[in-house]
């Protein structure tokens, strides 16, 4: 091999040698770092995905708002056909009795329900109880089917005629009679039970109420003296 005496050649050889040394050092360092990372990765415990618990809180105000939005619900209907006799009496010359009247029948419907906006709900966390206080059912409507009105027999005195005013007065009596018969048939009590069932289904379908017992308290009957 020829002796290297040219200064330029010596300089080039020195630069190349230094570059090779630096490259070797970097490669060795890189290899050690990668081995260390693999070892650390294999020994580190795996982190399981964190489960988040969703806590559902039962809110009494939410229940009351939902019930209030239902408004007044008709929970029971009573259909009927009623046969009645209407009589109009009058005295002629203060001693002669004059009587007019007729026998008639009519169909109709009486409905009953409660105002869900008047329901109150209280919560007892110790006993896990929901106390629902509801108003007593009331009659909501009385409908007389005028087209169903039929007269079977009629008796009209010459001095005591029947007119439309008498008929209108009788219609008010029809409604009163129908309402009384509907109450006697138990329409209000059936309406109460139906309302309780609707309320129970509504509450049990709300989140967070699964562990609560529902108790009802009925307010007084407004039709009782």
pTM of the model: 0.64
Closest CA to 6 of 14, 185, 130: 14
What integer pLDDT is reported at residue 216 of this predicted model? 97
Q: Is residue 127 part of a domain?
A: yes
- The pLDDT tens digits for 148-207 are 988 776 655 444 466 655 666 577 888 898 999 999 999 999 999 999 999 999 999 988
- Given a cut of 70, whether residue 143 has pLDDT beyond it is yes
Give me the domain span that covers residue 188: 60-218
Q: How far, CA to CA in Å, does 189 sit from each of 41, 138, 171?
A: 73, 10, 26
Average pLDDT value over all residues in the chain: 78
What is the arrangement of strands in the sheet containing 129-134, beginning at the earlier edge strand? 120-124, 129-134, 213-218
Q: How far, CA to CA in Å, does 174 sit from each of 86, 114, 143?
A: 10, 24, 10
Q: Is residue 104 part of a domain?
A: yes
Q: Is residue 44 part of a domain?
A: no
The token pair at 107 is 């169909």
pLDDT band at 44 (very low <50, low <70, confident <90, very high): very low
What integer pLDDT is reported at residue 215 of this predicted model? 96
Q: How many domains does the chain have?
A: 1
User: How much is the average pLDDT of 142-151?
Assistant: 88
Q: Which residue has the higher pLDDT, 48 or 203?
A: 203
Q: Is residue 24 part of a domain?
A: no
Q: Is residue 86 part of a domain?
A: yes
Q: Which residue has the higher pLDDT, 155 or 62?
A: 62
pLDDT band at 1 (very low <50, low <70, confident <90, very high): very low
Per cent of the chain over pLDDT 70 is 61
Q: Is residue 124 part of a domain?
A: yes
Asked which of 65-69, 79-83, 221-225 is least confident by mean pLDDT, the reply is: 221-225
184, 112 Cβ separation under 8 angstroms: no
103, 83 Cβ separation under 8 angstroms: yes
Q: Which residue reads 């007593």 in tokens?
A: 136
What integer pLDDT is reported at residue 88 of this predicted model? 65
Q: 23-29 — which CB contacts under 8 Å span 24+ positions?
A: none
How far is C-alpha 127 from the chain's CA centre?
A: 24
User: How much is the average pLDDT of 93-109?
Assistant: 74
Q: Is residue 49 part of a domain?
A: no
What integer pLDDT is reported at residue 169 of this predicted model? 59
Q: Is residue 85 part of a domain?
A: yes
Residue 114 neighbours by CB under 8 Å, 6+ apart:
72, 73, 75, 134, 135, 136, 137, 138, 191, 192, 195
What integer pLDDT is reported at residue 208 of this predicted model? 86
- Helix, strand or coil for residue 52? coil
């Amino acid at each position: 091999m020829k002796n290297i005496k040219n200064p330029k050649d010596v300089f080039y050889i020195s630069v190349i040698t230094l570059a090779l040394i630096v490259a070797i050092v970097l490669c060795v360092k890189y290899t050690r770092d990668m081995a260390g990372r693999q070892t650390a990765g294999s020994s580190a415990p795996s982190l399981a995905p964190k489960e988040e618990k969703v806590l559902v809180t039962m809110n009494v105000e939410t229940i009351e708002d939902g019930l209030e939005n239902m408004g007044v619900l008709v929970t029971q209907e009573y259909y009927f056909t009623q046969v009645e006799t209407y009589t109009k009496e009058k005295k002629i010359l203060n001693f002669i009795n004059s009587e007019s009247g007729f026998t008639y029948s009519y169909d109709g419907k009486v409905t009953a329900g409660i105002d869900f906006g008047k329901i109150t709900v209280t919560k007892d966390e110790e006993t896990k109880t929901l106390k629902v206080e509801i108003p007593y059912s009331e009659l909501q409507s009385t409908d007389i089917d005028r087209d169903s009105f039929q007269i079977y027999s009629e008796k009209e005195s010459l001095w005591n005629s029947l007119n439309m005013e008498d008929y209108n007065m009788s219609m008010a009596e029809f409604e009163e009679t129908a309402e009384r018969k509907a109450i006697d048939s138990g329409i209000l009590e059936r309406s109460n039970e139906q309302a309780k069932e609707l309320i129970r289904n509504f509450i049990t379908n709300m989140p967070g109420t699964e562990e609560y017992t529902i108790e009802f308290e009925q307010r007084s009957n407004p039709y009782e003296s």
